[in-house]
Amino acid sequence: MSDHTKLSAALFDRASAVTPGGVNSPVRAFRAVGGVPRFMASGDGCHITDVDGNTYVDLVCSWGPMLLGHAHPEVTAAVQAAVGRGTSYGTPTQPEVELGEEIVARTPVDKVRLVSSGTEATMSALRLARGATGRAKIVKFAGCYHGHVDALLAQAGSGVITLGIPGTPGVTEATTADTIVLPYNDQAAVTQAFAQYGDQIAAVITEASPGNMGVVPPVGHFNDFLARTCKDNGALFISDEVMTGFRITRSGFWGLGSDTVAPDLMTFGKVMGGGFPAAAFGGRADLMAQLAPEGSVYQAGTLSGNPVATTAGLTTLRLATDEVYAQLDRTAETIRRIVGMALSRAGVPYRTQNAGNLFSFFFVESSDEVTRRITDFAGAGAQVLPRYAAFFHAMLDNGVYLPPSAFEAWFVSAAVDDDALATIEKAASVAARAAAAV
């Protein structure tokens, strides 16, 4: 056992004795890249430090939430003050109203309901769509991940691809019988599905710009196409901005302005919780009015709108100004450029794709593929995975924490500074050579 991972390894052993696979969310286990998962002990700005005392520039940012970096002083102070006032009452509170107002002001939704995870948000949005339309079927896209909702765990992205799980045991055929899975960005497949099942489809759900099979943005105004197709057929369009919301722009992917038709329903999470469990779904007022207690579609949560979580989210969003987003864009561009240059110098064929500051690298098989846009799950899957594993470990050994899977987006924080960029540049040149050697 290597000395610099001794304490992480010991904790992993203890964790494995009491928790399946030693982790509370699968991708954390490093199954796709091998090696000892690092147990983090603290974070400060753009850095995280593990229990063995190794410090890394963090390009995972808790899988999105830590937009401002770790332990941001203003967020920490607001959270500490909130904790001092009591942590949960099971009653309405002011911070949840203010977070709701902030979300409504930033996005095209009229009303929101707060929940505690992205999974709950998409699950509840589906229930509302089915309740509102009186229809059962839903359309989702291969490679999109919407949390571990039973009906949406069909050809899902994120950890489901990383672990190569085809269909998840425990999700019954009956639960997915009403789920239609189509290739992403394939308008003809959508048209065909509506021709066949149009009057039975309650909703189409998609990531606003998929980031769970690597970053695979919509092409040919796919979201507008979906929104219009839904409208023409009496179905609802659900845009999942759990990953992209409040990260790519003040609102999310929507804020880039490439989509023009507002979704009927949207889901949010990650950044809006500022590192605490908070998520939301929202949409048109007439649809949201169908939720209990105003309407009859039931949805609830003991800790929904929790005052500490909503304070963290609200403080984060208030600090996330246009200047912050401009800086995130510049940082992401710089990282893509320096990593790309290192890979090119080492002769590693790659493709990088982005939606605003959300990006990823695909370790494609040959230089012919470098210019070929990856538009769906099949394209994203054609990668040399051992090359990513070698790259990942060399980055880790040189102080940069990347997602431990080739099928995830890289996340930047506003705390990334010139020193961190220099660390990334140095690590990338070693890591690119390690990838080239595979």
Q: Is 269 in the site for ligand PMP (CB under 6 A)?
A: yes
Exposed/middle/buried for residue 201 (C-beta within 10 Å: 0-12, 13-18, 19+): buried
Amino acid at 259: D
d(CA 77, CA 235): 44
* 3-class secondary structure, 342: helix
Asked if 58 touches ligand PMP (CB under 6 A), the answer is no
Look at residue 278 and give its three-state secondary structure. Answer: coil
Which candidate in 58, 137, 140, 145 is catalytic? Answer: 145
CB of 326 to ligand PMP, least distance (A): 24
Nearer to ligand PMP, 194 or 377 (CB): 377
126 binds ligand PMP (CB under 6 A): no
Q: How far is CA 137 from the centre of its chain?
A: 24
Instruction: Name 191's Cβ contacts closer than 8 Å, sequence gap at least 6.
Output: 229
* Six-digit token string for 375: 């538009």
Q: Is the Cβ of residue 212 or residue 413 nearer to ligand PMP in the bound state? A: 212
- Closest contact distance (angstroms) between CB of 117 and ligand PMP is 4
Q: Give the binding range for ligand PMP (CB under 6 A) out of 36-44, 116-124, 162-170, 327-335.
A: 116-124
Counting Cα atoms < 13 Å in the Cβ hemisphere of 333 gives 7
CA distance 60 to 180: 31
- Three-point CA angle 46, 50, 55, nearest 5°: 45
Site for ligand PMP in 177-236 (CB under 6 A): 207, 212
Q: How far is CA 260 from the centre of its chain?
A: 22
- Of the two residues 122 and 185, which places its CB atom closer to ligand PMP in the complex? 122
Could you give the CA distance from residue 20 to residue 57 in angstroms, rounded to a whole number? 28
145 labelled catalytic: yes
Q: Does 240 bind ligand PMP (CB under 6 A)?
A: yes
Q: Does 122 bind ligand PMP (CB under 6 A)?
A: yes
Q: Which stretch binds ligand PMP (CB under 6 A): 84-92, 143-151, 305-313, 393-401?
A: 143-151
Q: Binding of ligand PMP at residue 407 (CB under 6 A)? A: no
Task: Name the token pair of 344.
Answer: 């090119």
The stretch among 15-23, 117-125, 135-143, 231-239 that binds ligand PMP (CB under 6 A) is 117-125
Neighbouring CB atoms inside 10 A of 357's CB total: 26
Beta bridge partners of 57: 47, 400
Q: Render 122-135 in DSSP notation, one character per residue.
A: HHHHHHHHHHHHT-
Size of the site for ligand PMP (CB under 6 A): 16
Q: Are 124 and 286 in contact (CB under 8 A)?
A: no
Torsion sign, CA atoms 208, 420, 310, 40: positive
Residues 363 to 402 in contact with ligand PMP, rule: CB under 6 A: none
Task: Note whether 119 binds ligand PMP by CB under 6 A.
Answer: yes
Residue 242 as a binder of ligand PMP (CB under 6 A): the answer is yes
State the minimum distance, in angstroms, from the CB of residue 427 to ligand PMP.
Answer: 25
Position 243 contacts ligand PMP (CB under 6 A) = yes
Nearer to ligand PMP, 5 or 62 (CB): 62
Span from 140-148, 329-337, 348-356, 360-368 in contact with ligand PMP (CB under 6 A): 140-148
Residue nearest to ligand PMP (CB): 118
What six digits make up the tokens of 58?
Answer: 């963090």
Using the rule CB under 6 A, which residue among 93, 158, 352, 413 binds ligand PMP? 158
Q: Which one of 43, 100, 118, 283 is in contact with ligand PMP (CB under 6 A)?
A: 118
**108 vs 115: CA distance, rounded Å:** 19
What does the DSSP 8-state code read for residue 87?
Answer: S
Please give the span between the terminal C-alpha atoms of the chain, in angstroms, as a whole number.
Answer: 23
Spatial separation of the C-alpha atoms in residues 22 and 64, rounded to whole Å: 22
22 touches 37 (CB < 8 A): yes
| Nearest distance, CB of residue 199 and ligand PMP, angstroms | 28
Instruction: For residue 69, state whether it binds ligand PMP (rule: CB under 6 A).
Output: no
Segment interacting with ligand PMP (CB under 6 A) among 53-61, 83-91, 144-152, 309-317 = 144-152
The one-character DSSP state at 263 is P
Q: Is 145 in the site for ligand PMP (CB under 6 A)?
A: yes
> CA-CA distance, 392 to 435, in Å (whole number)?
9
Binding piece for ligand PMP, criterion CB under 6 A, among 118-126, 135-143, 194-202, 316-324: 118-126
Query: Which C-beta is closer to ligand PMP: that of 212 or that of 423?
Result: 212
Q: Which of 259, 264, 270, 401 is catalytic?
A: 270
Using CB under 6 A as the binding rule, whether residue 63 contacts ligand PMP is answered as: yes
Active-site choice (50, 58, 240, 259): 240
Q: Active-site residue 111, yes or no?
A: no
From the list 272, 253, 222, 221, the residue with the least C-alpha distance to 356 is 253
Active-site residues: which are they? Answer: 145, 240, 270
- Chain residues in the site for ligand PMP (CB under 6 A): 63, 117-119, 122, 145-147, 158, 207, 212, 240, 242-243, 269, 279
